[in-house]
Amino acid sequence: MRPVLRAVIVGSVAALLLGGCSASSDDASSGESPAGGAASGDVVRLWIAPELVDCTGVGPMECMQVAYEEGGPTELFYETIDGFTFEEGTSSVIDVRVEQVDSPPADGSSLAFTLVEVVSQTPQ
């Protein structure tokens, strides 16, 4: 193989490899986060609305409505929170720890949520 051709092939392969690494790190930092932008290990406060709403995840389900600041806009929350039991008709303010899941299933979240503290619960 000619040295020039070899250099072109090696350069092309290197560019593809480096481009792939760059895209992966960009995808991880700009991915959608159901935790208000929290990093793994952070504790996040959630304001939870008193009613579940119909939503579609892997299939039809009911989702909590959460806000990441008091009085802020609510978002559908498709995840479960280990240690927390939703009570219909009760507004809750809770603190949860957000952890990165190393090898999430294809249809699962890359984040896990664990209850740290129930700050308040108010019947509506």
pLDDT digits (tens, 9 = 90+) for 31-71: 334 566 667 789 999 999 999 999 998 899 999 999 999 99
Mean pLDDT of 11-18: 35
DSSP secondary structure letter of residue 51: S
* Spatial separation of the C-alpha atoms in residues 118 and 79, rounded to whole Å: 17
- The enclosing H or E element of 22 equals helix 3-30
Bridge-based pairing of strands 60-67 and 43-48 is: antiparallel
The mean pLDDT of the chain is 78
Per the CB < 8 A criterion, the answer to whether 58 and 109 are in contact is: no
- pLDDT reported for residue 102: 92
Mean pLDDT of 14-19: 34
* Spatial separation of the C-alpha atoms in residues 88 and 48, rounded to whole Å: 11
The maximal CA–CA distance of the chain, rounded, in angstroms, is: 78
Q: Provide the Cα torsion 81, 83, 89, 91; round to 10°.
A: -70
- pLDDT reported for residue 58: 86
Per the CB < 8 A criterion, the answer to whether 47 and 90 are in contact is: no
Q: What is the pTM of this model?
A: 0.67
* Tens digits of residue pLDDT in 72-82: 999 999 999 99
